[in-house]
Amino acid sequence: MKISTHRLVYAALLIALSIIFTRIFSLRIALGGAEGIRIGLGGLPIVFAGIAFGPLVGGIVGAVSDLIGFFINPMGPYMPHFTLTSFLTGFMPGIFICYFFAGRKSFRNILITIAITQVITAVLMVPYFQNSLFGIPYIATVPSRVISQAGMIPLYAYLSRMLLRYNLIKIPEHCRPASG
């Protein structure tokens, strides 16, 4: 897939927004000497990149956001596990929207896509990595992540749908619904 200049500029903007939302405008709670819980909108630009531009751009936005964010403002040692999680946070919505929902970006489809993605990445993968790398018990992270995602998932879906509604973003060719 060729990434146009238009998509590249939007991807760079979404990377910058993710870094700002994650590193500056988020509430962080330490557990066991490492960041246990983070509440903020840092994932929204990553998820939106996958929905608006497809899985490749979404994954790149997620991975690059994590890497640049770490080098600008490290929140502990670098762990590639979390870069993988950020990549999947952008990649999975693109896969779901493009291939399971044939490019149809209704609120319902976006909500389902974000719910599946956030449960896999934020509720399952991050606590698993925190437990295996830092020894943070699941009981300390999973319940709070479930509660925070219960609010973040509909918020991400609503904001993503509103951004798409203004038609500022062209639907990528490979994600257009079949006509007829």
Question: Does the residue 125 lie in any domain?
Answer: yes
Band of the pLDDT at 75, cuts 50, 70, 90?
A: confident
Count of CB atoms within 10 A of residue 147's CB?
12
CA-nearest of 91, 142, 146, 82 to 113 is: 91
Question: Does the residue 79 lie in any domain?
Answer: yes
Element of type H or E holding 1: none
CATH assignment of the domain containing 68: 1.10.1760.20
Question: Does the residue 152 lie in any domain?
Answer: yes
Tabulate helix, strand, coil % of the chain (nearest 5): 70, 5, 20
pLDDT number for residue 36:
56
Band of the pLDDT at 180, cuts 50, 70, 90?
A: very low
Q: How far are the Cα atoms of 93, 130, 180 from residue 138, in angstroms, in the given order?
A: 25, 8, 49
Count of domains observed in the chain: 1
Q: Note the pLDDT tens digit of each residue in 77-89.
A: 899 999 999 999 9
Give the DSSP letter of residue 101: S
Look up the domain containing 161 and give its range: 5-172
